[in-house]
Structure 1
Amino acid sequence: MSEPWLDDPLGYLIGAERVGDFFARIYESEALVVHHGQPRRFDGLLSIDAVDRLVTSVDLREGQLDLADASRRLMRSDYMDTSGYVDRGAVADHHRAGATIILQQAHQLEPPLGRFCRGLEHVFSCHVQTNLYLTPPNAQGFKTHYDNHCVFVIQVAGEKAWRLYEKPVDTPFRGEEFELGKFESGELKQEFVLKAGDCAYVPRGLMHDAMTSGTEPSLHITVGLITRTWADLMLEAVSEVALRTPALRKSLPAGYARADFDRGAARRKLGELAQIVAREVQLDPALDLLADNFIRSRAAENRHAISEAARPVLPTERFRLQRHTPHRIAEDGDKLALIAPGGDLDFPPDRRPALERALSGAEFTPADLPGENTEAFTARLLAYGLIVRV
C-alpha cells in the first residue's frame, strides 16, 4: 500500500501550506485544528480491525495495553492475568462497558506507524511515539488533563468531540506530570469535533478532554513529540566548559549543608563561575553530543537485511540513502566514525569520499564509489539500513 505521508510527514498531517506558520507561530504556543474533509486520508496507518487483531491475537504484556474510563477507576489487575499478560476477554468486556482501549507505543507493533514516526523524527529531531485510543460510542477515556509533551491527534475512524481550556503550566518539563486535583482546567477556550481524516495539534501544558461523538466508536492516534530542551543543551554546554575549566570542578565549601553555613561567599563565587561559563560556553560541542546521542538512539530500518543476507551486491546495482535515516560522519582519532541508528560504524579515513557519495541522497552503484572492495562496503551499509536498493 502506498504511504503518501512519508514524502512530507508534517505537511501530510496539517497541510503543507501550514508548515511555515506552524513553526513560526503555533509550535509549543497554541492549538491547531485541521479539517481535511478526506475521511480516508489516514487509511493505511491503522484501522479498528488492526486494533482488534492486535488485542485478540498478540500476547501483549503489562504496559503494552491499558484501559481508561473517565466514569470509573480501572486498575491493571482488572485486565491482566497472573502471568503479566493481557486478559483478552476482560479487555473486550470492559471495552463493551465503555472503557477506552489504549495501545502504548503502537509504532513498535505496526510497521507503517513506525515508518511514519521516523519521518516525523527527521522533521523534529526528537523521539516520536504513538499511542492508540479506541473509545466506544458515548464514552470518555480521561478526565480533563494536560500532557507534558506536545501531541498530534490523528482521527482515523469515527468522531471525537474535543474541549480545550487554559495552560496551568506553561511548557512543562517532561517530569511535570499532570496531578488530578492540583491543577484547574480554567476557562473553556475552544470546542471542535474531529472526524475521520482530521488532525489536531495540542501543545504541552494545555488542559483538554475528549469524548466520542456520534453512534460509532472513535479510533485516534496520538503522536507524541519527546523533545530535548534548551535546558538540556545548557546542561551539556556547562559540562563541556567544566571539562576545560578546573575552577568548575573544585569541591563545594566544607560544611555547606550545615544550618550555620555562611552563603555570602558562595553567592559571590557562583557569580564569578557564571561569568566564566558565559564567556567560555560553546554551542557546537554540546549540540553535537545531543545530536549524536539522538541518532544512536534510533533503531535501524533494515527490513529484508535477514531474508536477503545471502543476496550478493553487484557492482552495477543501484542504491540510495534510506529516506529519513539520520547519520553523521565524524573524525575519531585515526579513524572515521559513521554515527548511525543503533551505534557507530568505524571506517578508515580514506573511506570518507565513498561514504559521502553513498550517503549524499543521489543514486549510485558500487562501481561509482572510489576505493577498493566497494561491493563489500555497500553491503555493510545495506545491512545497517543506511541505504536501500533502488
Structure 2
Amino acid sequence: MTMTLAQLLAPMSVEQFFAEYHDKQPLHLKGDPAKFASVLSWRQINRLLDMTHAWTSQSLMLVLDGKPVPAEQYCTLAPGRDTNAQLMQPVTDRVREWIAKGASMVMNDVDSLTPGLASVSNAIEGAGLGKAQANVYISWQSHKAFHAHYDTHDVWAVQVEGEKTWNIWEGRAEWPISHPVFRSQTQEHHEQAKGKLRARVLLKAGDLLYLPRGWYHDALAEAPSSVHVAYGAHAVNGMDLMTILGERVLYDTAFRQPLPRQDGTAAARFALTQRAGQLGQRLAELCKDPKVMEVLERFVADYRYQRGGNDLLAWRGMAPPQTEEAAGAGEAGAFRVVAGGAKPVRRGADWVLKTPSGALALSPGEAEAAQWVLGRPDVTEAELSKAHPGADAAGLISKLRDAALLVAT
C-alpha cells in the first residue's frame, strides 16, 4: 500500500503547499470519506488492541478531560516481552471502564503497525519532510483530551472516523524542540501565548489538517466518536548539524587543545575570547568542507524511519500465491462503509439506492441486506452471509464497491 505527498494533499498541488503553507500557516483540506478509509478503521483498532502484550502504559494512554489517567488505574504489572522486567500493561476490563466514563485513548508510535498507517508516514518522509511518527487519538463527544498547546514537530492530522472541531490560535512558538526548556512551560504560559482564535475547523472523515511546528491548537470531538491519526514530522534542524560537526572536530587538533587558563585577569579573558573566535572561524570553514557537506546531505536525504520491506519467502526465492480477490479485499477482507447516510428507498414495486454515480437498482432481498451493510462502519463477506444467508454476499459487496459506497481496508 503506497501513498505520495501529491495524493495526501489532493486536490491541492504539492507546489502550492510548499509555496503557501509549509512552515508558514495551517492548512485544512476537505476530502471524501473514502480518501483515508484504508489508513485505519474501528476493526483495525480493535485488532491492534487485542495484541495485549504489545502495549504498555507508555504506548497506550488514557486521558479524561485534560488529565492523564494514572497508569495504576488501568494497568497491572506484567513481564515484558523482551526482558524479565515488570512493565505496566493495560487491562482490558479497566480500560473498558474508563472508556465508558468518556476517557480518550492515545495509541503511540503506531506508524509501522499496519500498511495503511505506514502509507501516510511514507508519503511524508518520501517528500523529504523528516521522520514521521504517528499517534492515534480516539475521543468521545464533549470530552476534551488536551488543553491548548503546541507540538515540537509539524502535525499532519488525518481524520479517519467521526468528526472533531479544532481551535487554531494565532500564537506560534518559534521552532520549539523536544527539550526541557520547552517541555517545562506551564499551561498558564500556553494560555497567554496562544493569542486570539484564528479559526475553528471541523474535521470530518477524509479531511486533512496541517499545522506547522509550534502552532497553538486544541480539539474537541463533535460526533459521538472521533478517530484521527496525528503524524508528527520531525525535520532536520541546525542542532543536527552541530552533532555532525561535533563528530568532525574530534579529528581537528585545534579543538582537542586545552583552552587558556583563567586567573581572573583581563589578559586571560582576552586569550579565551580570542581562542573561542578562532574555533568559531574553524567551524565556519568546516561548514564549507565538501566532506562535511557530503555527510550532511546524506543525513538529510536519509532522515526517515526504516519500516517494512520484509518478505521472507521472496528472500528464499519463493512467492506465496495470492488470488485477485485476496489482493483487492485488503487486510482481513474487510470493507469500509463510506456511504454517508445512504439507504435504499422504495419506488413503487422497485428498490433503488442513491449513489455518487447515480441510482442503483436492487432486489427486495438486496435492499434489506444493503440497508444492514450501510448501517455498519465496516463489513466482511462472511459477516454479510451470516446476517443475510439468502443474499448473494459477494455480488452485493461488488455492487456497493462499484458504486463507491465500500472501499477495501
Give the TM-score, by structure 2 length: 0.67
Q: CA deviation at 1:144?
A: 1.0
Match in the other structure for 2:232: 224
For the pair shown, the structure with the greater C-alpha radius of gyration is 2
1:50 equivalent to 2:44? Answer yes
2:129–2:233: 8 Å Cα contact kept in structure 1?
A: no
Q: What is the CA–CA distance in structure 1 between the aligned matches of 2:266 and 2:73, rounded to whole Å?
A: 53
Q: CA deviation at 1:239?
A: 4.8
Q: What is the CA–CA distance in structure 1 between the aligned matches of 2:68 and 2:243, rounded to whole Å?
A: 40
2:63–2:104: 8 Å Cα contact kept in structure 1?
A: yes
Match in the other structure for 1:117: 121
1:266 equivalent to 2:265? Answer no
Worse-superposed segment, 286-295 or 88-97? 286-295
Amino acid at match of 2:198: K
Distance 1:288 1:180, change over 3 A: farther
Q: CA deviation at 1:148?
A: 0.7
For 1:62-115, what per-residue CA distance to the aligned partner results, in whole angstroms no more than 9, with x for missing partners?
Answer: 322111123544212221112221111111211121111111111232232124
Q: What is the CA–CA distance in structure 2 between the aligned matches of 1:291 and 1:278, rounded to whole Å?
A: 17
Structure 1 residue aligned with 2:133, among 126, 129, 134?
Answer: 129
Distance 1:75 1:261, change over 3 A: farther
Q: What is the CA–CA distance in structure 1 between the aligned matches of 2:303 and 2:142, rounded to whole Å?
A: 44
Distance 1:74 1:61, change over 3 A: closer
Match in the other structure for 2:110: 106
Q: What is the CA–CA distance in structure 2 between the aligned matches of 1:73 and 1:309, rounded to whole Å?
A: 45
Q: What is the CA–CA distance in structure 2 between the aligned matches of 1:286 and 1:96, rounded to whole Å?
A: 56
Q: What is the CA–CA distance in structure 2 between the aligned matches of 1:161 and 1:66, rounded to whole Å?
A: 21
Greater strand fraction, Structure 1 or Structure 2 = 2
Three-state SS of the structure 2 residue aligned to 1:108 is coil
Q: CA deviation at 1:228?
A: 1.4
Larger relative CO (CA 8 A, sep 6+): 1 or 2?
A: 2
2:64–2:145: 8 Å Cα contact kept in structure 1?
A: yes
Amino acid at match of 1:68: V
For 1:169-189, what per-residue CA distance to the aligned partner results, in whole angstroms no more than 9, with x for missing partners?
Answer: 211123232542333222111
Q: CA deviation at 1:7?
A: 4.5
Q: What is the CA–CA distance in structure 2 between the aligned matches of 1:228 and 1:119, rounded to whole Å?
A: 17
Match in the other structure for 2:258: 251
- Which consecutive unaligned segments of at least 5 residues does structure 1 have? 314-390
1:211 equivalent to 2:217? Answer no
Structure 2 residue aligned with 1:78, among 70, 73, 80?
Answer: 73
For 1:30-78, what per-residue CA distance to the aligned partner results, in whole angstroms no more than 9, with x for missing partners?
Answer: 1111112x01210111012221222245322232211112354421222
Match in the other structure for 1:61: 56
For 1:227-253, what per-residue CA distance to the aligned partner results, in whole angstroms no more than 9, with x for missing partners?
Answer: 21033224424653x356422332222
Worse-superposed segment, 291-300 or 192-201? 291-300
Amino acid at match of 2:104: T
Q: What is the CA–CA distance in structure 1 between the aligned matches of 2:153 and 2:265, rounded to whole Å?
A: 39
The number of residue pairs the alignment matches comes to 303
Structure 1 residue aligned with 2:198, among 177, 189, 201?
Answer: 189
2:52–2:90: 8 Å Cα contact kept in structure 1?
A: no
1:14 equivalent to 2:9? Answer yes
1:28–1:171: 8 Å Cα contact kept in structure 2?
A: no
Three-state SS of the structure 2 residue aligned to 1:118 is helix
- Which consecutive unaligned segments of at least 5 residues does structure 2 have? 79-87, 320-409
Q: What is the CA–CA distance in structure 1 between the aligned matches of 2:265 and 2:225, rounded to whole Å?
A: 60
Match in the other structure for 2:310: 303
Three-state SS of the structure 1 residue aligned to 2:76 is coil
Distance 1:267 1:47, change over 3 A: same
Distance 1:73 1:273, change over 3 A: closer
Match in the other structure for 1:160: 164
Q: What is the CA–CA distance in structure 2 between the aligned matches of 1:18 and 1:144, rounded to whole Å?
A: 30
2:261–2:268: 8 Å Cα contact kept in structure 1?
A: no
For 1:159-178, list aligned pairs within 5 A. 159-167=163-171, 169-175=173-179, 176-177=182-183
Amino acid at match of 1:26: Y
Q: What is the CA–CA distance in structure 2 between the aligned matches of 1:259 and 1:35, rounded to whole Å?
A: 66
Three-state SS of the structure 2 residue aligned to 1:66 is strand
2:64–2:144: 8 Å Cα contact kept in structure 1?
A: yes
1:87 equivalent to 2:91? Answer yes
1:64–1:103: 8 Å Cα contact kept in structure 2?
A: yes
Q: CA deviation at 1:164?
A: 1.1
Amino acid at match of 2:176: P
TM-align CA RMSD: 2.8
Q: Percent identity?
A: 24
For 1:210-237, what per-residue CA distance to the aligned partner results, in whole angstroms no more than 9, with x for missing partners?
Answer: 00013x2000000111221033224424
Worse-superposed segment, 278-287 or 129-138? 278-287
